[in-house]
Amino acid sequence: MPKANAPLESASVSLSSRMTAIELRASFSLASIFALRMLGLFLILPVFATEAARYPGGDDTVMVGLTMGMYGLTQALLQFLYGLASDRVGRKRVIVFGLLVSAVGGAVAALAPSLFWLAVGRAIQGAGAVSAAVTALLADQTREEVRTKSMALVGASIGLMFALSLVAAPVLAASIGLVGIFALTAGLALLGVAAVLWWVPAEPQQHKNLPRGKLRDVLGSAALLRLNLGVFVLHAVQLAMWLALPAMLVQAGLPQGAHWQVYLPAVLGSFVLMGGSLFQMEKRGYLRAMFLSSIGVTALVQLGLWWQIGREPSLFLLGLLLFLFFYAFNVLEASQPSMVSRQAPANARGAAMGVYNTLQSLGLFAGGMGGGWLMKHGGAHGLFAVCAGLMLLWLALAWPMSANAGKPS
Q: What is the pLDDT of residue 357?
A: 80
Considering the domain architecture, whether residues 72 and 157 belong to the same structural domain is answered as yes
- pLDDT averaged over the chain? 82
Domain contains 191: yes
Considering the domain architecture, whether residues 187 and 230 belong to the same structural domain is answered as no
Percent of the chain at pLDDT above 70?
88
The residue among 208 and 320 whose pLDDT is bigger is 320
Helix (H) or strand (E) holding 386: helix 379-398
Rounded-to-integer distance, Cα 82 and Cα 99, Å: 12
Interval 128-156: pLDDT, tens: 989 888 988 988 888 877 887 787 777 77
Considering the domain architecture, whether residues 220 and 262 belong to the same structural domain is answered as yes
Considering the domain architecture, whether residues 226 and 179 belong to the same structural domain is answered as no
Interval 235-271: pLDDT, tens: 889 878 877 888 888 889 988 778 778 888 888 888 8
CATH code: domain of residue 35: 1.20.1250.20
Mean pLDDT, residues 75-85 taken together: 85
Domain contains 94: yes
Confidence of residue 177 (pLDDT cuts 50, 70, 90): confident
Rounded-to-integer distance, Cα 25 and Cα 29, Å: 6
Interval 199-210: pLDDT, tens: 999 887 655 555
Domain contains 11: no
Domain contains 4: no
Three-class SS string for 180-219? HHHHHHHHHHHHHHHHHHHCCCCCCHHHHCCCCCCHHHHH
Model confidence at 9: pLDDT above 70: no
Domain limits for position 126? 21-200
Considering the domain architecture, whether residues 196 and 222 belong to the same structural domain is answered as no
Mean pLDDT, residues 351-357 taken together: 81
Q: Which of 149, 174, 200 is the last residue of a domain?
A: 200
Considering the domain architecture, whether residues 112 and 50 belong to the same structural domain is answered as yes
Considering the domain architecture, whether residues 35 and 180 belong to the same structural domain is answered as yes
Rounded-to-integer distance, Cα 285 and Cα 82, Å: 33
- What are the residue ranges of helices labelled H in 242-310? 245-251, 260-283, 287-308
Considering the domain architecture, whether residues 246 and 381 belong to the same structural domain is answered as yes
Q: What is the pLDDT of residue 270?
A: 86
Domain count, the chain: 2
Rounded-to-integer distance, Cα 102 and Cα 189, Å: 6
Model confidence at 172: pLDDT above 90: no
Model confidence at 169: pLDDT above 90: no
Domain contains 109: yes
Domain contains 77: yes
Considering the domain architecture, whether residues 302 and 401 belong to the same structural domain is answered as yes
What length does the chain have? 409
Domain contains 63: yes
Helix (H) or strand (E) holding 254: none
Q: What is the pLDDT of residue 5?
A: 44
Q: Which of 200, 235, 267 is the last residue of a domain?
A: 200
Considering the domain architecture, whether residues 173 and 282 belong to the same structural domain is answered as no
**Looking at 165-179, 205-219, 270-284, 347-361, which range is the least confident one?**
205-219
Rounded-to-integer distance, Cα 311 and Cα 307, Å: 8
Considering the domain architecture, whether residues 238 and 351 belong to the same structural domain is answered as yes
Radius of gyration of the chain from Cα atoms? 21
Domain contains 2: no
Considering the domain architecture, whether residues 301 and 171 belong to the same structural domain is answered as no
The residue among 72 and 28 whose pLDDT is bigger is 28
Model confidence at 45: pLDDT above 80: no
